[in-house]
Structure 1
Amino acid sequence: MTWTMLDHPAWDLASAPPARAARTSSGTWLLTAPEYTVTLVAGGGSPPTVDVYEASRLDDSLLPPGLAQALRSLGHVQRVRTADLWEALATAIVRTVIQAKQARRMHRAFRDAVGQPVGAQALTPTAKQVLALDEEEFTALGMAFKRAPLQAAAHAYLTHQARWAQLPPDVLIKELQTVPGIGPWTAGAAVADHTGNFAFYPYADLAVRTWAKQADPATTWPADERSFAATWRLLGGPHLSVLTVLTLAWGDHHARSDQGSKHR
């Protein structure tokens, strides 16, 4: 069995099947996720990369039994990597300090109002489109508090994109944090989304802690972020990325399954 993560807010979960427009280095694509697979419906240029994560790579001797069982129940997990660094960065800014459902609604409104249509979906607005928006337009979208960080990031991206593209991920995370309004969570989430390596994700955040506890309630998990992060690094070992992304995938699966059961 293969499970597709649809955690990125560009996925339209109301579409049947779920669909997403995505930009790559040489074109745009419309993706769908029927059943448990990703389908490239239409597009041009290089297609998006689909990363596959397998629980078999984890060391069960390091993991609490409940967590190991929960993650293995997913089978193979695949996730569409966000090829466009600007899209990853803008999305991370939208997601910062708000709940996932609110971020998904805001991201959809942002795309629909400003982004380029691709079929029935729309792309994340470009950096130039973001800079062209005025304060009233942000306010009308319910994004007044996102205007400053998005426009600062858009200006920085257009200035530094060529150099940023050459930086190793750990250096890029530090560089992104020099942009006003971008902190460690936003930078780490953007780089993980862009590279597919979730060792760079802020893995002590509320989402990972919440899903770890729900996947394995029998384990006593550290309550504070610093202690949780230290424990998580030990559990992941050399496969910290796989542990983190599979835990987020378990949460995505759990949340969508619960949502589906409410409508049956």
Structure 2
Amino acid sequence: MTFTMTEQAAWQLGPEGPRRVFALPDGGRWLVTVTPNGPELHPLVHGDSRPQIDVAVPYGLSLGEVPELSAALAELGPVARFRNPDLWDALGTAIIRQVIRAAQAKKLYRAFCTAYGERVELPGGDSYMLFPAPETVLKLSDEEFADLGMAFKRRPLRAAAEAYLERGDKWRELTPSVLVDELQVVPRIGPWTASAAVADWSNDFALYPYTDLAVRTWARRAAPSSPWPDDETSFGRLWRRLAGERLSDLTLLTLAWGSRHGEVG
């Protein structure tokens, strides 16, 4: 059975499994619930499109220098991941993730959504909160950021909100690799943030900052007997050599391994 990744902070645990409301550019709203039988999609507001899902497979991924990692990833089988259709959400998520651990970033993200996000009513009377719109972010006071423990995220989120309102339509028309460079024009958006946001939005994980702590941690835990380099530069060279033409698959599958075996939240 295909394993569906739910590592992104927008996924929340519902009564039937992880769930998420996808806000599509055409105005559509979809509730996706990942059940033991796979993802179930339910339209809340109809549009012309559906959430997009991509599948990476470990088969044929030859990692000669680290066969232990090959075996660990093969046990996953096919891995599915929904693209984040909302570039603003992807960028905001990456900004909140800057410098702090994933578990803490998820707490901040969800608290921010609860406090200031758009409420979407779900079947059965429950509700779900989307990430606050850029217009909302620009209206928040310093005190409102501080009350959520997000004072240090105030400036990058404001700068990103201003830039998104001005250039978001253009950004969405760019190829992922070009978009990574364009986002770095925004103050306080560096290579890590831009790459993480675009990977989330496009599912092209060849663009993900694959030398970051998450990838290195899960690679070491999946293949603890392998001689992994200690520094990011050497790790990056090894990672590219291992991946060959399948850098996106190797990085995504390794993160998926961590999503299954690591901290869930």
Q: What is the aligned partner in structure 2 of residue 193 from structure 1?
A: 200
- CA separation of 1:84 and 1:246: change in aligned 2, threshold 3 A: same
Q: Quote the Cα distance in structure 1 between the aligned partners of 2:195 and 2:167.
A: 18
Q: Identify the match of residue 131 of structure 2 among 117, 124, 142.
A: 124
What is the aligned partner in structure 2 of residue 55 from structure 1? Answer: 58
Q: TM-score, normalised by structure 2?
A: 0.93
Percentage of matched positions with identical amino acids: 51
Matched residue type, 2:188: G
SS of residue in 2 equivalent to 1:33: strand
**CA displacement, residues 78-118 of structure 1 (integer Å, 9 cap, x when unaligned):** 11110111111011111111111111111111111111122
1:41 corresponds to which residue? Answer: 42
Out of 231, 239, 243, the position equivalent to 2:238 is 231
1:163-242 correspondence to structure 2 within 5 Å: 163-242=170-249
Report the CA distance between 1:228 and its aligned residue: 0.5
Residue equivalent to 2:32:
31
The equivalent of 1:152 in structure 2 is 159
* Partners of 1:85 and 1:190 within 8 A in 2: yes
Query: 2-side partners of 1:164 and 1:8: how far apart?
Result: 21
Letter in 1 for 2:9: P
Q: Secondary structure at the match of 1:182?
A: coil
Q: Deviations over 1:199-253 (max 9, x none)?
A: 0000000000000000001110111111111110111111100000000000010
Q: Deviations over 1:170-210 (max 9, x none)?
A: 22111111111111110000000000100000000000000
Segments of 4+ in structure 1 off by > 6 A?
A: none
Instruction: Give the Cα–Cα distance (whole angstroms) in 2 for the partners of residues 95 and 144 of structure 1.
Output: 14
Give me the whole-angstrom Cα distance separating, in 1, the residues matched to 2:89 and 2:76. 28
User: Which letter maps to 1:85?
Assistant: L
Q: Which amino acid aligns with 1:5?
A: M
Partner of 1:142: 149
3-state SS, counterpart of residue 67 of structure 1: helix
Q: CA deviation at 1:162?
A: 2.1
Contact map agreement 1:4 1:36 (CA 8 A) in 2 = no
Show the counterpart of 1:106.
108
Q: How many residues align?
A: 257
Give structure 1 stretches of 5+ with no counterpart. none
Worse-superposed segment, 103-112 or 36-45: 36-45
Query: What is the TM-score normalised by the length of structure 1?
Result: 0.93
Which amino acid is 2:51 matched to?
P
Question: Structure 2 CA distance, aligned partners of 1:63 and 1:41?
Answer: 44
CA offsets 1:138-196 (integer angstroms, 9 cap, x no match): 11111111110001001001111122122222221111111111111100000000001
* Structure with a larger share of its residues in helix: 1
User: Matches of 1:156 and 1:243 in 2, distance apart?
Assistant: 32
8 A contact 1:3–1:36 mirrored in 2:
no
1:15 CA drift (Å): 4.8
Equivalent residue of 2:245, what SS? helix
Q: How far, CA to CA, are the matches of 1:162 and 1:106 in structure 2?
A: 27
Task: Report the aligned-residue RMSD.
Answer: 1.6
Is 168-177 or 217-226 further displaced after alignment? 168-177
